[in-house]
Amino acid sequence: MAGLRHLKGAMDIYAQAIEVLLTHPQTQAWPALAELCHRARSHKPIAWEFSTTAAEAVGGRAEDAVPALGALTCAHMALILIDDLLDEDPRGAYRQLGSGRAANLASALFGLGLDILIKSEIRERERAVAAFGQLMLRTAYGQDLDVQNAQSEEAYWAVTRAKSSPYFGAGLYLGALCAGAEIGTTDRLKQFGELFGEIMQIHDDLNDCLASPANVDWLQGRSPLPILFASGVAHPQQALFIELRNQASDPLALAEAQSILVSCGAISYCARELMLRHAQAERLLAGIVLTNPAPLAKLLATLIAPVHNLFTKVGADIPLNL
């Protein structure tokens, strides 16, 4: 019951954050912007609870994080608008709005998020604004690297760190900053969030590669981590995999290619990368002095418990020493 009460409280705080967006004078004067903000009421951003969790972890109240939550919701909406444009995702809002208006609304949301932080009562407002700017700047760089579809291991991790990590890092950083945390603590929470982002990206890649029918990563010749491994590492089925990869719209070819992802060690490699980051994040969390670290540890455990379970099921040790 305590958990349910906590969740309800956090949801009320999310509603408060959306209210801040909806009552902003610019939103009230701009129906298309207001429509996006209305939509956010029922479509919460990924990891929306990060900022409230961070505020409580450092000894503050969840409601301290309202400006962070409002700004991050704006960032999320802006990033999705842009991501859909770059991916030419047929489900994207740009299909109704047109590309130009969608890009312009993304720019507006970035401005709205910034304005929410500037007008907030956060003691370290300048740091909050700088962190929000860094979030948008780094993610934009990551998006641009991503669309260039570089096919190397180094490029993969560079894209992941630029594109996927800043959002999660900023969520914890801004939430803790809103609650008045020390700078050292906010910085370490940001690092923790960025590791979390890398873990999320690996999960994302596993899903995309194992989806059936073939998703956009297969069909557009992209290289999520398992495909990068199976295409780039020298193994007996490498040539076959590359051939099958180009026929992924055929369900039989896709199934065979996905089977090679398992047998060549690509999935094992991803599981190991998940475990390594989990261990690193646990060490990092243990080194941060927090009033209430439990919710953050729980967030991390949620991501990694299924990997542990899988290794247990197949009777394998986790090969972190390889």
Partner 1 sequence: MVSMQAFYTSLFSTTENNASLSGLLRIARASLKEILAVRSELYWDEWTTTTE
Of 79, 78, 63, 74, the residue nearest 113 (C-alpha): 74
How is residue 177 written in tokens?
């900053």
How is residue 38 written in tokens?
């209305």
The region of 18-26, 113-121, 184-192, 314-322 touching partner 1 under the rule CB under 8 A is 314-322
d(CA 264, CA 229): 9
Q: What is the rounded end-to-end Cα distance, in angstroms, of the chain?
A: 43
Q: Residue 83 has what DSSP assignment?
A: H
Residue among 46 and 294 whose Cβ is closer to partner 1? 46
Residues between 256 and 275 with contacts to partner 1, criterion CB under 8 A: 258, 262-265, 267-269, 271-272
d(CA 143, CA 159): 8
Sole binder of partner 1 in the list 153, 187, 250, 282 (CB under 8 A): 153
Sole binder of partner 1 in the list 55, 200, 214, 285 (CB under 8 A): 200
Residue among 27 and 73 whose Cβ is closer to partner 1? 73
Residue among 101 and 125 whose Cβ is closer to partner 1? 101
- Regarding 83 and contact with partner 1 (CB under 8 A), the answer is yes
Residues between 15 and 74 with contacts to partner 1, criterion CB under 8 A: 43, 45-47
Q: How far is the CB of 40 from partner 1 (least distance, A)?
A: 8
Residue among 29 and 239 whose Cβ is closer to partner 1? 239
Please state, in angstroms and as integers, the Cα–Cα distance from residue 110 to each residue in 24, 135, 136, 184, 278, following that order. Answer: 14, 10, 8, 26, 31
Any long-range contacts for 89-97 (C-beta under 8 Å, 24+ apart)?
89/216, 93/36, 97/32
Q: Residue 45 has what DSSP assignment?
A: P
The region of 62-70, 140-148, 173-181, 308-316 touching partner 1 under the rule CB under 8 A is 308-316
Q: How far is the CB of 209 from partner 1 (least distance, A)?
A: 10
The region of 64-72, 111-119, 140-148, 230-238 touching partner 1 under the rule CB under 8 A is 230-238
Sole binder of partner 1 in the list 97, 140, 203, 242 (CB under 8 A): 203
Sole binder of partner 1 in the list 19, 63, 89, 115 (CB under 8 A): 89
Residue among 64 and 205 whose Cβ is closer to partner 1? 205
In DSSP notation, 198-242 reads HHHHHHHHHHHHH-SS--HHHHTT---HHHHHHHHS--TTHHHHH
Q: Give the total residue count for the chain.
A: 322
Q: Most distant CA pair in the chain: distance in Å? A: 62
Contacts with partner 1 by CB under 8 A lie at 43, 45-47, 76-77, 80, 83-84, 89, 91-93, 153, 157, 200, 203-204, 206-207, 210, 228-229, 232-235, 258, 262-265, 267-269, 271-272, 302-303, 306-307, 309-311, 313-319, 322
